[in-house]
Structure 1
Amino acid sequence: MSKTFSAEEVKKHASEESVWVVVDGGVYDVTSFLDDHPGGKKILLRNGGKDATEAFWTYHSEKVLKKQGGKLKIGELEPSSKL
Structure 2
Amino acid sequence: MSKTFEADEVKKHTSEQSAWVVVDGGVYDVTSFLDDHPGGKKILLRNCGKDSSEAFWTYHSEKVLAKTAAKMKIGDLSPNAKL
Alignment correspondent of 2:67 = 67
Residues 1-83 of structure 1: matches in 2 within 5 Å?
A: 1-83=1-83
Instruction: Specify every segment of 5 or more residues in structure 2 that has no aligned partner in the other structure, as ranges.
Output: none
TM-score using structure 2 length: 0.98
What is the SS of the residue equivalent to 2:64? helix
Deviation at 1:11, TM superposition (A): 0.1
TM-score under structure 1 normalisation?
0.98
Aligned-residue CA RMSD in angstroms?
0.5
Deviation at residue 70 of structure 1 after TM alignment: 1.6
CA apart distance, 1:68: 1.2
Percent of aligned pairs with the same amino acid = 80
What stretches of structure 1 of length at least 5 have no aligned partner? none
Secondary structure, counterpart of 2:20 in structure 1: strand
Displaced runs of 4+ in structure 1, greater than 2 A?
none
